Amino acid sequence: MVNAVTKQGTNNFHGSAFGFFQDASLTSREFFAKQNNLAKPDTNQQQWGGTIGGPIVRDKAHFFFSLERVAHQSAASP
């Protein structure tokens, strides 16, 4: 996906980063797994990304880049 925007930028570099990680130790068993006394399935979720922007040519051209990634692995209850 490409998104082009015309907007005045800055002559300084700016950016941000984020991360979110969750595994089976941070989740509880589902309602029906509890009712049937089943083991908790192994799950793993990772979400991370960041942004960066700054000048290409001082006072003339600027850039901005953003990235976000999501990885989700889950297993059904036995």
By the 8 A CB rule, do 52 and 14 touch?
yes
pLDDT value of residue 49: 94
Distance CA 56, CA 63 (A): 7
Q: Which two tokens stand for residue 67?
A: 């990235």
In the 8-state DSSP scheme, what is residue 26? Answer: G
pLDDT range class, residue 23, cuts 50, 70, 90 = confident
pTM: predicted TM-score of the whole model, two decimal places: 0.61
Q: Which residue has the tokens 């901005």?
A: 64
> Looking at residues 47-60, what average pLDDT do you find?
90
